[in-house]
Structure 1
Amino acid sequence: MAGRAAFAEAMGAGCSAICWPGGDGRRLYGRNLDFDRLARGTGILYLPGGQHYRCCLDEKDARPGEAVCSRYALMGMGLMLPGGTAALYDGINEKGLMGAQLYYRGFAHFDAPPAHGVRLQPPLLVTHLLSQCATVEEAVRFLREKVTLCAVPLMGTVPPLHWMFSDRGGEAVVVEPDADGLHIYRNTMGVMTNSPGYPWHRTHLLCFSGIQDTDRGAMRFGPEVLEPCFSGSGCAGLPGDWSSPSRFVRLAFWQKYARPGADEAADVGNLFHALQSAAFPLGMVRVEQAPAADYDTDIRPFDYTVYSAVMCTQSLRYYWTSYENQRIQCVSLEELSRGGVARRFALDRAPDVLMRGPEEGEALTE
């Protein structure tokens, strides 16, 4: 049971997420997953519509959830659980609804008794909403009327989570289960990290009201005038550590000032650059290690950005990199839907370096 608990904690690792409007009406969603391990079997999953899954999987629960049939095809990073149910950490469906779960340590609260609709274990919320909802509006209605997030353990524990969803319309909604109830924040700025909750992070931005994208001018000290001699002074004071508040601030200002690209490839590259600004470099964030589970691989004594992912709601493509392999890889939900077969793609974390041969270099002549 201790091993299973460690696995469930891994599904709720600390992360950063951002929604961003690129060029030509493109809507993108990016996220980092930061943790000290990854569950064996984690990969990019494609699931066709019309598949049955369960919303409550704990084998000791007296009232196991009934099987539910998915309405939409979906794909994202996650793990297949017993019985054919997928636990997605993040993903996108065929209608362009995108979402991700992030760690909400110290704040997440789930009521044990169900209040309405199906009882849903928190790690299955991304899977359920992407399977059933086409838009943010529909997802919000599901949360308010058709779903109760319950404190039923999955694989031995109830991981503390919160979520952000977005769609083709561009609205980003944050969902946080607090002690006083489930809070759904509409029309947010589209940035989320970890604890504290979204309202605190939003207010905290006021501490950085002087941040700007242009350099400061000359400064006068008595008879002396100091002219600027370097760039970037407009961002002086922007926090650079890897705490949740600092990562939120950096991504919020990147989103505010970032310029859209000429095409999807440029926008995807820009968003990966943003995620790198919030990524955990291996060795800087030492953590106390939880017990290893049978599912765990590559356990290290540090939190680091295990993978980064970017989704585009127009093209229905899922892009990713890993800490070890910075080459951007991609799968297309549209192409996968033509086959109609559930599939899993490996993260492919082996370093990928393109070696250029001498014959590829242009000869220089005087």
Structure 2
Amino acid sequence: MIKGFIMKKRILLIFIIIIIIYFFCNDNKQTIKIGFISSLSGKYSSIGHNILNGFKLGFDEIDNKIGDKYIQIVVKDDYQDENQTKKIVDDFLSSNIKIIIGNSTSAMTKITLNKLKNKEDTLLISVNSSSENFSKKDDNFIRLQAAINSKMYDPLSKYLINNHNKKMQIIYDSSNNLYSQNVIKSLKESFENKFNGKIVSLFKLENNYNNILKKLDTSSSIFIIANSIDTAKLIQIFKLKRIKQIIASSGWAKDYQFIEEGGKAVEGVLFSTGYDNMSKEKQYLKFKNRYIKVFNEKPSSASIQAYETAKILKEALRYSTNAKDIKKYILTKKIFKGLQGEIEFDRYGDIKRNYILVEVNNQEFKLKR
């Protein structure tokens, strides 16, 4: 009997040890899932992949691990489609994913935010959505892209007026209308109200190119609000038609695919931007060199912001893995070191940036002197 009792105790002890080891190993292998939703196919894919590359690079640097927890980035393509976006958000929520990075356009970000309206335990962090419609709201949303505002376009407006270009015509993509209309509004405030210029006409990019060409004012500068590929193609058509006006574009088109697609035709195109691609900042150069080594291409502004997003999120995850606590940590700390200066959040999770004027010069984005 004693032997049997001792054997039972040993078996019970072994069983307890196995349970302890199981739970210890399971705890050590805890995974933090981060949802990533962006336009990764179609004409909006360039900026989507730039964001994905920059964000993943930030976590690759720490081998996708925070302490004893592993990071799993669940990547989904929204196809720039409302129903697809809704489905992905539902899938994230059913998979208990509480931290979501997305979307790459303001139009799709609006859809995601609406789906998360009553989900206080879920945090949406946008790398690139800039619509002012998201500003000054105490919700479960923060972003690394400054809201569109008139100061953003002051460097461009000042340059145009100083160079006797007092009239502007705007061509815009209405499929991302939330963004486009915010840009138009801010351009009016800057170019017209502050610098006494005049916006003489608005054209939807979806219109026939020939109709646009017929109605263009040859004495007015041209501002294009569209993705990099559409903007580059349109400018190529302008150059073939020997249109010589000053051409500027919104930050939506400012990536290296724009230069690759446009070639010589896009030389001299102007951008008012928050990033200097030729910056000599030590941390920026370190990031830039690693990005080129990994992806065999130069980082765009969206890639830079995505990397900064990952950098801030990594720091917050060391404090807590709870979405509400992450937001609280970021907004309480307020100021973070970016790749080109400080990033400061206000109490709503919005940020401000300083802006410079750059032009395409010898296949590079260079400061306009």
TM-score of the superposed pair, with normalisation by structure 2: 0.27
Higher relative contact order (CA 8 A, sep 6+): 1
Looking at secondary structure, tell me which structure has more helix per residue: 2
Higher strand share goes to which structure? 1
